C-alpha cells in the first residue's frame, strides 16, 4: 500500500508543471561570540541540503533553495531575518536560539509557518494541542535536565539524597529553561540544587567557579553556549573539579568547548541527541558531491564534528518532513501548511536512517497531533582528550515523563489561557 502511494505521488509530481524551489531559511550566526559554535552547525545544515540537490535533484524532484540570514545570536536580528525571509516561501524556521524561538512562536503561528526548535526553545511547545505550528522533537531541555539527574542516579545506585548539584547556566531564556525541572527533581530525589548564572557572553567566570570551589557540589551541570562553555571547562580544570562529575547539556558538548582546555578537559561529560563522528555511509556522498565538488558551505573541515552533525541532523529531519508532506498531499511544491502536516506525521525509524546512510545516528521517534516533542530520548557522551574525540557512554534512554509531562501540561495551559487559545482536539 505504501509503495502504491509513493508511486501515485511520483506520478502526480511528474505530471505537474515546473515546480518552484523548496525554501529553507537558515538563521545562522557566523560572527560574534557564538560563531565558533554557530559555524559548524550552519555548515552541516547547508551541506546536507546541497547534497540532496546535487545527488538527488532536491526533494521529490523539487530543488531546494536555502536562504541564509546572519543573526549574530541576537534576538532582534533573528526576528528581522524572519520578517525579511518569510515572504520567499519559507517552509520551516529553525532559529538555533531560544530567545529568537520565543519571539517567533506567536509570529510564525499567526503567519502559518512551522518552527522547529530541535532540543531548545520553549519546552512546553511539545504540546501540539496548544502549539499547532511549533515543534521541538526529538527531545527538549526538560528531558535534558532529567537525563542529567538520571545519569547521576545511575552512578549513585539510585540514591542521591543529600547530594549537591550546581547548575551553571547562561543567564538568558535558554539557560533558565531547565531550572523548574531541576527544582522538581530535587524535591523528588532529595538532592540540594544551587543556581549559578553566568552573564552573556560568559568570558568572565572567576567568581562562579570560586563559589563552586567553596561550596563543593558533588556534581555540576551546565547550560552554556559559545565561549561560555570553553571558559567554564577551563575554570573547572583550574580548580581541579572532577571532570567526570561535570555534565553539560547537548549544546555544551562540541570539540570547540573542550579543545582549549587540553588534557584538563579529559573526562568531561555532556548529553547527546545524536551520534558523533563521521563513520557513516553518508559521509562518502558528502565528500563526493559537496566537498570535492567545491560546494561545501565552509572549508570542509567540520565534517563529523558534533555541531556539524547536529546541523546535518536538523536538515535531515526537515527534508524527511518535506518528503512526508509531499506524500500526504500528492504534490511536490508544498506550502508551509503542508510542511506542518509532514512534520506532525513524521516518523524516524532505524530502517529509514539506514537508508539515508545514517545507521544508528539517532533514536527512533514519531511525532503526532498532541506530541510535537517526540519521546525525549537522550544519551551521555564523554570527551577523551588523548583520542581527541567524543564517545557515547550510554544508550539513548528515557527521561522522567511523570515529572516532565505534568510541567508541560501546566505551562502550555498557562500559555493558552494568556493568549486566549482553545487547545485542539487530537482525539
Question: How far are the Cα atoms of 155, 191, 309, 312, 359 from residue 282, in angstroms, in the given order?
Answer: 35, 43, 11, 11, 9
> Of 238, 272, 306, which residue sits at a domain end?
272
Whether residue 248 is found in the same domain as residue 368: no
**Ranges of residues in the chain whose predicted pLDDT is under 50:** 1-18
Whether residue 174 is found in the same domain as residue 320: no
Question: How far are the Cα atoms of 37, 139, 158, 203, 375 from residue 399, in angstroms, in the given order?
Answer: 26, 9, 14, 32, 9
Q: Sign of the CA dihedral 169, 258, 225, 359?
A: negative
Whether residue 134 is found in the same domain as residue 156: no
Task: Round to whole Å and give the CA distance between 105 and 218.
Answer: 37
Q: Where are the alpha helices (DSSP H) in 112-254?
A: 141-155, 173-176, 179-189, 206-215, 227-238
Residue 8: what pLDDT? 41
Whether residue 350 is found in the same domain as residue 318: yes
Structure pTM? 0.93
Identify the H or E element spanning 108: helix 98-111
Whether residue 177 is found in the same domain as residue 257: yes
- On the CB side of 326, CA atoms within 13 Å amount to 25
Residue 4: what pLDDT? 40
Q: 239: burial class by Cβ within 10 Å (0-12, 13-18, 19+)?
A: exposed
Whether residue 227 is found in the same domain as residue 282: no
- Residue 55 neighbours by CB distance under 10 Å: 13
Whether 393 is covered by a domain: the verdict is no
Residue 19: what pLDDT? 53
Look at the block and give the residue holding cell 529553525: 94
Whether residue 283 is found in the same domain as residue 410: yes
* DSSP-assigned letters across all residues of 18-76: PPPPEEEEEEE--SSTTHHHHHHHHHHHHHHHHHIIIIISSBTTB-EEEEEEE-TT-HH
**Phi (first) and psi of residue 423, to 5 degrees:** -55, 145
Task: Report the CATH number that the domain containing residue 267 is assigned in CATH.
Answer: 3.40.50.2300
Q: How does DSSP classify residue 32?
A: S
Number of H helices, E strands in the chain: 15, 13
Whether residue 186 is found in the same domain as residue 243: yes
- Contact between 70 and 28 (Cβ < 8 Å): yes
| pLDDT tens for each residue of 333-342 | 999 999 999 9
Residue 1: what pLDDT? 43
Whether 383 is covered by a domain: the verdict is no
Residue 301: what pLDDT? 87
Whether 371 is covered by a domain: the verdict is yes
Give residue 80's domain range: 20-139+277-376+406-418
Whether 60 is covered by a domain: the verdict is yes
Whether residue 42 is found in the same domain as residue 56: yes
Q: Which of 339, 414, 364 is nearest to 132 (CA)?
A: 339
- Contact between 302 and 276 (Cβ < 8 Å): no
Whether 205 is covered by a domain: the verdict is yes
Q: Which of 296, 318, 331 is nearest to 9 (CA)?
A: 331
Whether residue 255 is found in the same domain as residue 145: yes
Residue 5: what pLDDT? 42
> Of 272, 307, 332, which residue sits at a domain end?
272
Identify the H or E element spanning 115: strand 115-116
Whether residue 177 is found in the same domain as residue 265: yes
Q: Which residues contact 237 (CB under 8 A, 6 or more apart)?
A: 243, 261, 264, 265
Task: Round to whole Å and give the CA distance between 200 and 228.
Answer: 8
- Contact between 159 and 398 (Cβ < 8 Å): no
Cell of 251: 549544546
Whether residue 346 is found in the same domain as residue 243: no
| pLDDT tens for each residue of 94-148 | 999 999 999 999 999 999 999 999 999 999 999 999 999 999 999 999 999 999 9
> Of 272, 302, 333, which residue sits at a domain end?
272
Number of domains in the chain: 2
Amino acid at each position: 500500500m505504501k509503495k502504491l502511494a509513493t508511486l501515485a505521488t511520483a506520478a502526480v509530481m511528474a505530471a505537474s508543471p515546473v515546480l518552484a524551489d523548496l525554501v529553507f531559511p537558515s538563521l545562522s550566526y557566523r560572527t560574534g561570540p557564538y560563531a565558533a559554535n554557530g559555524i559548524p552547525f550552519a555548515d552541516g545544515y547547508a551541506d546536507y541540503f546541497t547534497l540532496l540537490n546535487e545527488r538527488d535533484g532536491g526533494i521529490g524532484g523539487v530543488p531546494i533553495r536555502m536562504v541564509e540570514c546572519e543573526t549574530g545570536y541576537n534576538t532582534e536580528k533573528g526576528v528581522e531575518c524572519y520578517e525579511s525571509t518569510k515572504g520567499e516561501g519559507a517552509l520551516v524556521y529553525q532559529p538555533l536560539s531560544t530567545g529568537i524561538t520565543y519571539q517567533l512562536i506567536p509570529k510564525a503561528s499567526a503567519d502559518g509557518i512551522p518552527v522547529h526548535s530541535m532540543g531548545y526553545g520553549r519546552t512546553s511547545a511539545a504540546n501540539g494541542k496548544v502549539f499547532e505550528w511549533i515543534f521541538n522533537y526529538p527531545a527538549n531541555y526538560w528531558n535534558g535536565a532529567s537525563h542529567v539527574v538520571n545519569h547521576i542516579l545511575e552512578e549513585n545506585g539510585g540514591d542521591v539524597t543529600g547530594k549537591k548539584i550546581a547548575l551553571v547556566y547562561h543567564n538568558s531564556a535558554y539557560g533558565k529553561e531547565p531550572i523548574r525541572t531541576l527544582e522538581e527533581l530535587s524535591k523528588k530525589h532529595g538532592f540540594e540544587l544551587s543556581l549559578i548564572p553566568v552573564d552573556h557572553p560568559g568570558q568572565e567566570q572567576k567568581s562562579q567557579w570560586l563559589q563552586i570551589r567553596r561550596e563543593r557540589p558533588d556534581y555540576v551541570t551546565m547550560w552554556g553556549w559559545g565561549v561560555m562553555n570553553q571558559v567554564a571547562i577551563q575554570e573547572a580544570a583550574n580548580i581541579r573539579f572532577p571532570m567526570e562529575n561535570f555534565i553539560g547539556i547537548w549544546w555544551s558538548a562540541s570539540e570547540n568547548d573542550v579543545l582549549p582546555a587540553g588534557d584538563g578537559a579529559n573526562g568531561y561529560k555532556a548529553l547527546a541527541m545524536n551520534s558523533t563522528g563521521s563513520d557513516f555511509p553518508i559521509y562518502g556522498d558528502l565528500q563526493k558531491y559537496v566537498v570535492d565538488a567545491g560546494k561545501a558551505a565552509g572549508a570542509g573541515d567540520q565534517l563529523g564534528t558534533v555541531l556539524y552533525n547536529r546541523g546535518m541532523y536538523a536538515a535531515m529531519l526537515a527534508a524527511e518532513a518535506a518528503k512526508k508532506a509531499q506524500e500526504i498531499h500528492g504534490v511536490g511544491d508544498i506550502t508551509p501548511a503542508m510542511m506542518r502536516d509532514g512534520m506532525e506525521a513524521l516518523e524516524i525509524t532505524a530502517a529509514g536512517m539506514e537508508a539515508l546512510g545514517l545507521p544508528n545516528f539517532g533514536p527512533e521517534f514519531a511525532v503526532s497531533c498532541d506530541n510535537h516533542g517526540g519521546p525525549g530520548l537522550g544519551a551521555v557522551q564523554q570527551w577523551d582528550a588523548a583520542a581527541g574525540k567524543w564517545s557515547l557512554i550510554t544508550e539513548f534512554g528515557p527521561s522522567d515523563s511523570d515529572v516532565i509531562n505534568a510541567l508541560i501540561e501546566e505551562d502550555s495551559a498557562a500559555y493558552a489561557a494568556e493568549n486566549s487559545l482553545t487547545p485542539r482536539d487530537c482525539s
